[in-house]
Amino acid sequence: MSKILDFSYIIWYFQVRRREKLDDRRHLVNTFKALTLLVFLAIFAFSPVLADESNTIAPTQATDKTPSSYDLVKKILGKDFLPPEEVTKARGFYYLKTQLAKFKKSLPSKEVLEWLKANDYMLVAGPPYTLSLLSMQRRDDTLFYHDSEEGWYANYKERFFYADTISPGWLALRKSSVPGSTEKTWGEQQASLSDNERVPNAAEVAWGLTTYQKVRDTYLMSGNVLVRTSSVSSRGVQVYVGGFASHKLDINDWKGEAPNSHLGVAAALKL
Average pLDDT, the chain: 81
Instruction: Give residue 127's region: left, alpha or beta (phi > 0; psi -120 to 50).
Output: beta
Confidence of residue 194 (pLDDT cuts 50, 70, 90): very high
Using one digit for the tens of pLDDT, what is the confidence trace for 54-80? Answer: 333 333 444 445 666 899 999 999 999
pLDDT (0 to 100) of residue 118: 98
d(CA 209, CA 168): 16
Both 14 and 102 in one domain: the answer is no
Number of folded domains in the chain?
2
Q: Answer yes or no: do 78 and 12 share one domain.
A: no
Same domain, 203 and 74: yes
Whether residue 59 is contained in a domain is answered as no
Q: Are 40 and 105 part of one and the same domain? A: no
- For residue 223, the model assigns a pLDDT of 81
Instruction: Give the model confidence (pLDDT) of 151-185 as tens digits.
Output: 666 677 899 999 999 999 999 999 999 999 999 99
Q: 11 and 46: one domain?
A: yes
* pLDDT score of 26 more than 60: no
Cα gap 23→48, rounded to integer Å: 39
- Per-residue confidence (pLDDT) for residue 2, from 0 to 100: 44
Residue 60 included in any domain: no
pLDDT at site 270: 97
pLDDT at 150: 54
Range of the domain at 40: 1-51
Taking alpha carbons only, the member of 91, 168, 86, 99 closest to residue 127 is: 168
